[in-house]
Amino acid sequence: MKRILSVCLAVVVLISGLLLVLRRASPAVEAQAKNPANCQGLPNDEALKALLVAAPGTGGTAGGLFNGQRMWGATVNRDGEICSYATSTDDPTQVWPGSQAIAKSKAYTANAFSLDALALSTARLYTFTQPGHSLWSLGQSNLFDASKLIPPGGSGDRHQIVGGLIFFGGGVPLYNAAGKIIGGLGVSGDTSCADHEIAKRVRELAALNPPGGAAVDDITYSVPDGPSVFTHPKCVNTWRNGVFLGNEPPATGY
């Protein structure tokens, strides 16, 4: 009996010691437990890349400079944490390097200002955030963390809140089949109008549209839609839903 008790006590001491060592040796595990990432229902890197590649070939011409074929894409979850990112090109250096930060910021913005009952694409925030309008200076509220930027082919900022706010086309909120918002998608690499077209198509292909369908937060233009607080300026070679709408007016006076 004494021998059995001794063995049991030794086992308890051994297990306790192992647990103590694990706690001390794995702070990363503890940190992950305190801040778990929830990316359920959102496309991973491989799926996002496939969606970006497929999007230019659906719904007609996307317009812009490259017809939406040189894109960075990124998703965030409802907490704003990065879940996935990818380029539509096999060589990520052949997409504008600056588009990495923009895509992540668009995803963050679309998620940050959308609700179950209100899908708000970044394109619809354009006019609100111009000088003299009601949300001027909103861009100063959640600045992008540039320390989280990575080389085009690298990794490192998943499950972190990178932040950043962008108020032109290319960011859309993402919803599950029950109509609940689960995050945001950002696309960048062309004109802002083409970025929006590709983001809209990626969301449609991924079956992550908001209640009301793909067009409920679609980009709008003064011509042909009429003036509105949701109006976005036209870009070079502007197309929407396969229809050519015109070009950004040329500059005058400089």
Residues whose CB is less than 8 angstroms from the CB of residue 79 and which lie 6 or more positions away in sequence, other chains included:
38, 161
Question: Which H helix or E strand runs over 83?
Answer: strand 82-87
CATH number, domain at 140? Answer: 3.30.450.150
Mean pLDDT of the chain: 87
User: 110: closest CA among 185, 176, 177?
Assistant: 185
Domain that holds residue 6: 2-31
**Quick one: DSSP state of residue 170?**
S
Question: Is 115 domain-assigned?
Answer: yes
For the ranges 14-18, 87-91, 233-237, 241-245, the lowest mean pLDDT is seen at 14-18
Question: Do 234 and 145 share a structural domain?
Answer: yes
**Out of 148-157, 168-177, 179-188, 227-236, least confident range:** 148-157
Same-domain pairing of 94 and 210? yes
**CA nearest to 195, candidates 89, 20, 66:** 66
Say what the pLDDT of residue 37 is: 58
Confidence band, pLDDT 50/70/90 cuts, at residue 17 = very low
**Same domain for 98 and 195?**
yes
* Same domain? 131 vs 21: no
d(CA 108, CA 76): 6
Residue 15 has pLDDT above 60, yes or no: no
- What is the pTM (predicted TM-score) of this model? 0.84
pLDDT surpassing 80 at residue 9: no
Lowest model confidence (mean pLDDT) among 55-64, 140-149, 230-239, 241-250: 140-149
Query: In this structure, are residues 28 and 159 in contact, taking their beta carbons and an 8 Å threshold?
Result: no
Residues 149 and 174 in one domain: yes
Whether residue 180 has pLDDT greater than 90: yes
The predicted model gives 194-221 an average pLDDT of 97
Instruction: Give me the pLDDT at residue 152, please.
Output: 80
The answer to whether residue 253 is domain-embedded is no
Residue 175 is assigned to a structural domain of this protein: yes
User: 239 falls in which pLDDT band (50, 70, 90)?
Assistant: very high
Q: Quick one: average pLDDT of 74-82?
A: 96
State the total domains in the chain: 2
Q: Are 169 and 123 in contact (CB under 8 A)?
A: yes
Q: Phi and psi at residue 152, in whole multiples of 5°? A: -50, -35
Can you give the pLDDT at residue 229?
94
Per-residue CA distances from 100 to 19, 22, 119, 197, 223 (Å): 41, 37, 23, 18, 31
Q: Is residue 101 domain-shared with residue 170, that is, in the same domain?
A: yes
CB 215 within 8 A of CB 74: no
Give me the pLDDT at residue 131, please: 94
Asked whether residue 22 carries a pLDDT value surpassing 50, the answer given is no
Burial class from Cβ neighbours inside 10 Å (0-12, 13-18, 19+) for residue 37 reads middle
Query: Could you tell me if 165 and 102 lie in one domain?
Result: yes
The fraction of the chain above a pLDDT of 70, given in percent, is 84
What is residue 35's predicted lDDT score, i.e. its pLDDT? 35
pLDDT of residue 251: 86
In this structure, are 21 and 147 located in the same domain? Answer: no
pLDDT at 3: 52
- Residue 149 counted as domain residue: yes
Q: Residue 16 pLDDT more than 60? A: no
pLDDT number for residue 44:
95
Q: What is the pLDDT of residue 33?
A: 34
| Within-domain flag for 39 | no
